């Protein structure tokens, strides 16, 4: 499999002396196309910072993020916005659904924001796979946490991104629902040939990934490939 996502000596420093925090300290990693990678590490180890860099949500202090052969930090802000919208699907712990839109409207929102025509067959397929077919007219507030996260996943998949970046996607869910949601994420990513990078605190959830990257104090401290 080819490398899709890569960081080279990635460093991110927040603040200034004497309150300087080195959130990432020389992170070099590679993620292959179609791979499902879990990033684990204790609180404050730099996981979210890394994910934000991978998705072009923030710029590094030094080093590189290369996606599909393109260096993110060489893009200007407009290019970066388009890159994010077309290539990346984000899933966050706090589902971030729009409360006044129903499930269907939430799912297709990113397609509409990008000015694209909705591929109805594809959206129907995602909706069915994620078990949301009977909930399309519901508002997020009428759904359980697991259902809301499934909507957030459907929304992330809607634009057919090549990469899904998930920050503690099961952080608000019980263990059984977490396993189900990650199982669905795996199924959809295999079906649509997507690459997943997921942050988790849970070793149990991390074991569901193809490989695990361990991060501590902004550095990679270990990893496994199954």
Ligand X SMILES: Nc1ncnc2c1ncn2[C@@H]1O[C@H](COP(=O)(O)OP(=O)(O)OP(=O)(O)O)[C@@H](O)[C@H]1O
Residues that bind ligand X (CB under 6 A): 14-15, 21, 23, 41, 43-49
* Minimum distance, C-beta of residue 67 to ligand X, in the bound complex (Å): 19
Q: Which is nearer to ligand X, 91 or 132 (CB)?
A: 91
* Minimum distance, C-beta of residue 215 to ligand X, in the bound complex (Å): 7
Closest CA to 82 of 105, 116, 106: 116
Q: Which is nearer to ligand X, 15 or 183 (CB)?
A: 15
CB count in 10 Å sphere of residue 113: 10
Long-range contacts of 53-60 (CB under 8 A, 24+ apart): 53/7, 53/10, 53/12, 53/24, 54/5, 54/7, 54/163, 54/165, 54/197, 55/84, 55/88, 55/90, 55/163, 55/165, 56/80, 56/83, 56/84, 56/88, 57/84, 58/12, 60/10, 60/11, 60/12, 60/24
CA distance 210 to 146: 23
CB count in 10 Å sphere of residue 26: 15
Q: Which is nearer to ligand X, 86 or 214 (CB)?
A: 214
Q: Which is nearer to ligand X, 116 or 202 (CB)?
A: 202
Q: Which is nearer to ligand X, 41 or 56 (CB)?
A: 41
* Minimum distance, C-beta of residue 139 to ligand X, in the bound complex (Å): 29
* Minimum distance, C-beta of residue 22 to ligand X, in the bound complex (Å): 8
* Minimum distance, C-beta of residue 105 to ligand X, in the bound complex (Å): 30
């Amino acid at each position: 499999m080819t490398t899709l996502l890569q960081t080279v000596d990635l460093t991110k420093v927040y603040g200034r002396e004497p309150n300087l925090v080195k959130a990432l300290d020389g992170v070099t990693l590679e993620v292959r196309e179609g791979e499902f990678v879990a990033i684990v590490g204790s609180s404050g180890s730099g996981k979210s910072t890394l994910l934000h860099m991978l998705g072009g949500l923030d710029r590094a202090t030094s080093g590189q993020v290369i996606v599909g052969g393109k260096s993110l930090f060489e893009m200007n802000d407009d290019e970066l916005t388009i890159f994010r919208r077309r290539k990346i699907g984000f899933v966050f712990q706090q589902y971030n659904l729009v409360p006044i839109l129903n499930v269907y409207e939430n799912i297709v929102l990113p397609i509409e924001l990008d000015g694209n025509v909705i591929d109805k067959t594809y959206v129907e397929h995602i909706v069915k796979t994620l078990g949301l077919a009977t909930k399309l007219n519901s508002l997020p507030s009428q759904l359980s946490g697991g259902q809301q996260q499934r909507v957030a996943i459907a929304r992330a998949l809607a634009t057919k991104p090549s990469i899904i970046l998930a920050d503690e996607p099961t952080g608000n869910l019980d263990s059984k629902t977490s396993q189900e949601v990650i199982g669905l994420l795996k199924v959809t990513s295999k079906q649509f040939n997507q690459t997943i990078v997921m942050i988790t605190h849970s070793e149990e959830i991390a074991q569901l990934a193809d490989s695990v990257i361990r991060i501590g104090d902004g550095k990679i401290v270990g990893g496994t490939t199954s």
